[in-house]
Amino acid sequence: MILQRRNFLNLGELQRQMELSGLNDRLDNVQRFSQIYLLRRLALKEVGTKLENLDDEYSALHFHNPIHHMEERMKNPASLLEKIERKGYGMTIDSIQENVFDIAGIRVVTNYIDDIHRVEDALVNQDDITVVKRKDYITKPKSNGYRSLHLVVSVPVFLAEGAQTAPVEIQIRTIGMDMWASLEHKLRYKNHIDPDKAQKYAGQLKDTARQLNQIEASMQGIYQDLL
């Protein structure tokens, strides 16, 4: 199941955002910008379908679904413009093409820890997939306790005029890791308002990340024994 947090690019909205941020004359061409969005969105659909197919195949052959669910999202133009400013990238179409890989994103929530690498291997072994970036926050969790495997893959999209490739960001994590990340995200957001709470819960949250990992590992053990 893919939950679609659909956010189709609305050109009117994009122009308004660009004007609001005073960037309208720095971005050379709204049309090229929307072309990038289109390509990234189609690449996202390709990757989503590949992952659904892999899950179907695994389920048919091994009676197990590695994927619990997936969520797709397109970065909205306002956050894209904010990111370009924050990271100090050039405000040009070429710079967006070269630097921003997470306009199209898919989160793959797996049932068990082992499924993360099962999904990764099966995807990146496909001939038309190229891994552009890989960050393994599972082998090496972040200092706050965050765990996930982040990939950026590039995939071809077949357009009327021929094939073009585009990058898609993939976050692969278990249900427990996903649950943890949602809470931590909420806390971090709230902490802008109340820094005392940040202090209060940071250590506790890190500890829950470790506990969740232990629980998921033992549940995986039980499940495998029952298979």
**Which residues are known to be catalytic?**
169
Token pair in block for residue 133: 């970036």
Residue from the set 54, 184, 205, 213 that interacts with ligand GTP by CB under 6 A: 184
Burial per residue of 138-160, b for 16 or more beta-carbon CB atoms within 10 angstroms, e otherwise: beebeeebbbbbbbbbbbbbeee
Comparing CB distances to ligand GTP, the nearer of 15 and 76 is 76
Least spacing, CB of residue 68 vs ligand GTP, in Å: 18
Token pair in block for residue 125: 């072994």
Residue tagged 């021929």 (tokens): 162
Segment contacting ligand GTP by CB under 6 A, of 60-68, 143-151, 158-166, 198-206 = 143-151
Least spacing, CB of residue 120 vs ligand GTP, in Å: 15
Residue 93 CA to chain centroid, in angstroms? 22
Residue 102 touches Mg ion, criterion: CB under 5 A: yes
Nearest to 36 by CA among 85, 84, 86: 84
Residue from the set 55, 102, 178, 216 that interacts with ligand GTP by CB under 6 A: 102
Nearest to 36 by CA among 4, 3, 5, 14: 14
Token pair in block for residue 145: 């306790």
Residue 144 touches ligand GTP, criterion: CB under 6 A: yes
Three-class secondary structure of residue 172 per DSSP: strand
Residue 185 touches ligand GTP, criterion: CB under 6 A: yes
The footprint of ligand GTP on this chain (CB under 6 A) covers a number of residues equal to 11
d(CA 132, CA 110): 22
Least spacing, CB of residue 67 vs ligand GTP, in Å: 18
Comparing CB distances to Mg ion, the nearer of 105 and 176 is 105
Residues forming the site for ligand GTP (CB under 6 A): 83, 102, 135, 142, 144, 146, 150, 171, 181, 184-185
Residues forming the site for Mg ion (CB under 5 A): 102
